[in-house]
Amino acid sequence: MKKILPILGTLLFLTPFQTSFAAPQKIDGIAAIVNSEAILESDIETRFRIIRERVPNGIYNADIRRQILTSMIDEYVQSNYANRAGIRVSPADVDRAILSVASKMRTDLVGFKQALQQQGIEYNRYRTQIENEILMTNIKRQVIKERITITDLEIDDFLNSPESLAQSKDEVHLRHLLVRSKDTVKAEEKIKEIASVIQTEEDFIRLAISQSDGSAAVQGGDLGWRPTNELPSLFVRALSTGYGPFYGPIQSNAGFHLLWVVDKRVSDVELQKQTKARHILIKPNAIRSVSQAQEFAENLYRRLEKGEDFATLAKEYSEDEGSALKGGDLDWVAPGAMVPPFEQTMNQTFVGRFSRPFRTNFGWHIVQVDGRRSADVSDKVKKENAERALIAQKQDLVLSNWLDELKSQAFIDIK
C-alpha cells in the first residue's frame, strides 16, 4: 500500500498498521480535560496511528503517549483562541488539501478513503485532523504577523552580518531537545544530567522523546532541514564552533537546549534561474465540475491557438485574483515559488509559447512563458529573504511564549 503523504510542513503521515501496535479498541477513558473539551485515550491512540511513521521505531509507549497528549492539549487551546478570534478554515481548503494527498498517491477520493479504512482510520477523523493542521498554520501565521516586527536597521545589520554573508546557502538537519526553565536552577541541572548520558544519535532520540518539552519531541526532536541563517542566533553561534555533532547546553529565554547535527549541505548555485510568466486559471466550483473546468480551459487554449491575445483572455476569464487584472502576469518567478505541477509545465514551455491546459490542486491552468534569466537575486529579494530569516529566528520563542500564555489562561486537567 502506498503511503499517505504529508500536505503541510507539519502534516502527519499515514502508514500501514503493523504488529507493534494492537488493533484499535474502544476505550472510554478520559486522558485530559481542556476547558470543557475531553481528550479520550482513543483519541490519543488514533493520533498515534496517523503519525506512526514519524515516531522513531514506530512503537507506542508511555513516553509517546505523553508527548501526543501534550501536543493535543496545545492544539485544543490554540483552537479555542481561533474560535475567539474568528479564524476559520473553509471546507474548500480542506477539500483541496485532501485531494492533494490523494493525487500524490495517484488515487481519487474513493481510493483514498479505502486506504484510510485499511489502516483503521475513520475518514471524518482524518478530515478533522487536516482541518486542525491548516487551522494551526493559519493561527501561527497571524500571531507571528502581530507580534514580530522587523526594522530596516535589523535587515541592514543582518545583510552585513557573517551569518548572512557566509551561511546564506548553508542548510543543516537538526535534532532538538528543550527543557523549559520555569525554575532555572532545576532546568539547568536536568539539562546537564541529560547531556551527560548522550553519546550517540540514538541516545539523543530516546531522551528527546522522554524528556524534551519541544514541539518535535514525539519525532525524537527531528526538526528536518533548516537554512542555517534562519535558526535562532544562539544556535548559529553554537554551530559555528564546529565541534559537533552534539551541541549544548544552550540557554535562551525559553529554556535550555541541546542540538544534534544529523547532516549539513551547502548549495553551490550562485545564480537564480527565473522565468517571466503569465497564466490563466479556471477553477472548479459548485456549478462547474472538474471536467467542465477542463473543457472551458481547452476552449480558451483553442482561441489562443487561433491568435487571440493571452493577456486579454486572462483579464476576462482568469480566476486568479492576484494576476487577472494584470493580464495574468506573474512577473519573474523564482524556483520553488509555484506548486510542482505548475513549475514543471512552466519549465517545459519554450519562451514565447504557451502550454496546453494542465491541472494543479487550484484548478486548470494555461501558462505562457515570456522570458528566462539567470541573475543575482535583486536587492529587494535579498531584503525580503533577510526579513524572512529574521522572523524565522524569532518565531519559535514568540510562539512558545504565546502558547504558554494560552495555557495559563485555560483549565487543563490531566487525568
Is 6 a domain residue? no
**Does 341 reside within a domain?**
yes
Domains of the chain: total? 3
Predicted confidence at residue 368, as pLDDT, reads 97
Q: What is the mean pLDDT of residues 81-92?
A: 86
pLDDT of the residue at 273:
83
To which H or E segment does residue 249 belong?
A: strand 246-252
98 and 126 together in one domain: yes
Flag whether pLDDT at 90 surpasses 90.
no
- Look at residue 85 in the predicted model and tell me its pLDDT: 84
pLDDT, mean over the chain: 85
Is there a contact between 180 and 187 (Cβ–Cβ < 8 Å)? Answer: yes
Inter-CA distances, 71 with 166, 225, 402, Å: 36, 22, 15
Residue 16 has pLDDT above 70, yes or no: no
Of 147, 175, 202, the residue that ends a domain is: 147
pLDDT range class, residue 370, cuts 50, 70, 90:
very high
Categorize the per-residue pLDDT at 21 as very low, low, confident or very high, splitting at 50, 70 and 90: very low
15 lies in some domain = no
> How far, in Å, CA of 393 to CA of 397, rounded?
8
The larger pLDDT score, comparing residue 254 to residue 314, is at 314
> What mean pLDDT do residues 336-348 have?
91
State whether 249 and 394 are in the same domain.
yes
CATH number of the domain enclosing 66:
1.10.4030.10
pLDDT for res 92 = 85
Residue 223 parent element (H or E)? strand 222-227
Whether residues 169 and 257 share a domain: the answer is yes
Distance CA(89)–CA(79), nearest Å, equals 11
Strands across the sheet with 412-414, in order? 37-40, 30-34, 412-414
Q: How confident is the model at residue 1 (pLDDT cuts 50, 70, 90)?
A: very low
For 376-387, the pLDDT digits (tens) are 556 666 787 788
Question: What average pLDDT does this structure show over 339-363?
Answer: 93
**371 CB contacts (<8 Å, ≥6 apart)?**
275, 276, 351
CATH of the domain at 229: 3.10.50.40
Given a cut of 50, whether residue 5 has pLDDT beyond it is: no
pLDDT of residue 14: 36
Q: Is the pLDDT of residue 165 over 50?
A: no
Q: Is the dihedral of CA 302, 305, 307, 308 positive or negative?
A: positive
pLDDT of 365 > 90? The answer is yes
Residue 411's pLDDT band (cuts 50, 70, 90)? very high
Q: Are both 307 and 363 inside the same structural domain?
A: yes
DSSP codes of every residue in 143-204: HHHHH----HHHHHHHHTSHHHHHHTTEEEEEEEEEEE-SSHHHHHHHHHHHHHT--SHHHH
> Quick one: cell of 339?
506548486
Q: Is the pLDDT of residue 24 over 60?
A: no
Residues 313, 345, single domain; the answer is: yes
Highest mean pLDDT, choosing among 130-134, 254-258, 286-290, 385-389: 254-258
Which residue, of 118, 147, 176, is where some domain finishes? Answer: 147
Q: Range with the lowest mean pLDDT among 44-48, 224-228, 384-388?
A: 384-388
Residues 262 and 388 in one domain: yes
CA distance 174 to 263: 7
* 382 CB-near residues (< 8 Å, 6+ apart): 159
Residue 411 maps to a domain: no
Q: 81, 405 in Cβ contact below 8 A?
A: no
What's the mean pLDDT in 286-299?
90
Cβ atoms of 366 and 293 within 8 Å: the answer is no
Give me the mean pLDDT over the 85-99 stretch.
Answer: 86
Per the model's pLDDT, the better-predicted residue between 102 and 12 turns out to be 102
Residues 126 and 179 in one domain: no
Average pLDDT rounded to a whole number, residues 69-74: 92
Helix (H, G, I), strand (E, B) or coil at 284: coil
C-alpha separations of 327 from 312, 324, 396 in Å: 6, 5, 40
Q: Helix 379-409 vs helix 62-85: angle between axes, to the nearest 10 degrees?
A: 100
Using an 8 Å Cβ cutoff, are 342 and 367 in contact? Answer: yes
93 is in which domain, residue-wise? 30-147
